[in-house]
């Protein structure tokens, strides 16, 4: 579906959607000019709904279409009609068709969903889709912490671990749309841990929020603590959360710490309470990620490396461990590459999806 020609200097609005495993966010993204890179776009009419991904991809797709129709109607009522729909979605995206090629078990049945074509048919508007981390990266590289950089690497460190390379203002998608899966690089700390992609030993399995919980569980099992079998089950799960008694998540009388934790948030609570074992888990994961970034910097030679996601706020000790790992593996030419925090927050994927729309419209 073609987009109406841009009018220089006039406003141009899009409905931006950010589809993740927990929630679906939407907002109107309004550009004051036709080309990305000038003044930052205006964000309005922000709203969200829960994804409820466990119901399956078809149900999620139906909810997205309903949500999009409500947002489009609200935009028209507010005097800001949208000219298209720009989507940043979890999963591997075919940017040519707008369909979801594959997805992890965090969104069962999402792979194979005709996201772009379905919304275009339901809403009667042109639709462009890219991966959510790609969208986040493009937003940061165009209007955020990477504005002005020719080459930027963006790493999202949350429940999982994703990333993207932005070169001369464009996302590097790769031949199969999977470029930027930086969490799926081998690291020895992750040996014996099966990654969400089904392979063994990828850095996501120790450096993400779920990975930190798995590394904690793995070390508890190796220490043969009381309840070690529960720890082994949690380490073997893809999320770090297993079907174990609720008591395993609580500190038992006489124990130093719970047998297992539910993700990075509970692990951070232990760190905040002074638990050095938990702190070392975070430190080692951050160091491993830093080494991975060092290798990536040696390959891409970026102007800047941008970090985002919940884990970067664990504490200064986490960032220092990451920088130490980076210095360990970065070559002389890349050792001084700045590593900075993203500046756009949750608006980054919405803005990036809209920038991608402008790049591909016509």
Ranges of beta strands (E only) in the chain are: 12-19, 23-31, 42-50, 85-89, 92-94, 99-102, 127-131, 151-157, 161-167, 170-171, 304-308, 339-341
Tell the CATH superfamily of the 12-144+344-359 domain. ATPase, nucleotide binding domain (3.30.420.40)
Q: Which residues contact 276 (CB under 8 A, 6 or more apart)?
A: none
Do the first three CATH levels of 12-144+344-359 and 182-213+260-341 match, i.e. the same topology?
Answer: yes
Domain boundaries, the chain: 12-144+344-359, 182-213+260-341
List, for residues 8-44, the tens digit of each pLDDT value: 557 899 999 999 988 999 999 999 865 555 788 999 9
Question: Computed over its alpha carbons, how large is the radius of gyration of the chain?
Answer: 21
Contact 58, 99 (CB under 8 A): no
List, for residues 34-76, the tens digit of each pLDDT value: 555 578 899 999 999 999 999 999 999 999 999 999 999 999 9
List, for residues 172-210, the tens digit of each pLDDT value: 999 887 889 999 999 999 999 999 888 999 999 999 999
CATH classification number, 182-213+260-341, choose in 3.40.309.10, 3.30.450.20, 3.40.640.10, 3.30.420.40: 3.30.420.40
Within 13 Å of residue 247, how many CA atoms lie on the same side as its CB?
Answer: 6
Which residues, listed in sequence order, are joined to residue 102 by a DSSP beta bridge?
A: 92
225: three-class secondary structure by DSSP: coil
């Amino acid at each position: 579906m073609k987009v109406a020609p841009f009018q220089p200097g006039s406003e141009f609005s899009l409905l931006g959607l950010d589809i993740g495993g927990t929630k679906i966010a939407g907002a109107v993204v309004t550009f004051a000019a036709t080309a990305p890179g000038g003044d930052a776009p205006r964000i309005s009419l922000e709203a969200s709904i829960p994804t409820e991904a466990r119901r399956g991809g078809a149900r999620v797709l139906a909810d997205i279409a309903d949500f999009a129709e409500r947002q489009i109607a609200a935009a028209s009522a507010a005097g800001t009609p949208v000219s298209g729909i720009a989507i940043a979605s979890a999963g591997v995206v075919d940017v040519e068709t707008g369909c979801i090629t594959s997805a992890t078990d965090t969104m069962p049945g999402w792979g194979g969903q005709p996201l772009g074509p379905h919304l275009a048919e339901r809403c009667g508007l042109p639709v462009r889709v890219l991966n959510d981390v790609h969208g986040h990266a493009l937003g940061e590289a165009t209007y955020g912490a990477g504005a002005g950089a020719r080459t930027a690497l963006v790493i999202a460190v949350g429940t999982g671990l994703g990333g993207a390379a932005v070169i001369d203002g464009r996302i590097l998608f790769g031949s199969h749309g999977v470029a930027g899966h930086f969490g799926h690089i081998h690291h020895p700390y992750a040996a014996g841990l099966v990654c969400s992609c089904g392979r063994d030993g990828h850095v996501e399995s120790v450096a993400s929020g779920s990975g930190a919980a798995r590394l904690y569980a793995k070390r508890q099992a190796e220490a043969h603590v009381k309840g070690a079998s529960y720890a082994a089950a949690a380490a073997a799960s893809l999320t770090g959360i297993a079907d174990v008694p609720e008591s395993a998540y609580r500190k038992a009388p006489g124990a130093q710490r719970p047998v297992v934790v539910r993700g990075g948030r509970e692990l951070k609570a232990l760190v905040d309470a002074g638990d050095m074992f938990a702190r070392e888990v975070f430190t080692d994961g951050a160091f491993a990620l830093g080494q991975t970034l060092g290798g990536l910097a040696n390959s891409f030679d970026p102007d800047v490396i941008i970090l985002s996601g919940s884990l970067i706020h664990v504490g200064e000790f986490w960032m220092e461990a990451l920088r130490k790992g980076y210095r360990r593996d970065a070559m002389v030419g890349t050792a001084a590459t700045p590593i900075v925090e993203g500046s756009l927050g949750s608006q980054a994927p919405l803005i990036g999806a809209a920038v991608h729309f402008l790049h591909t419209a016509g």
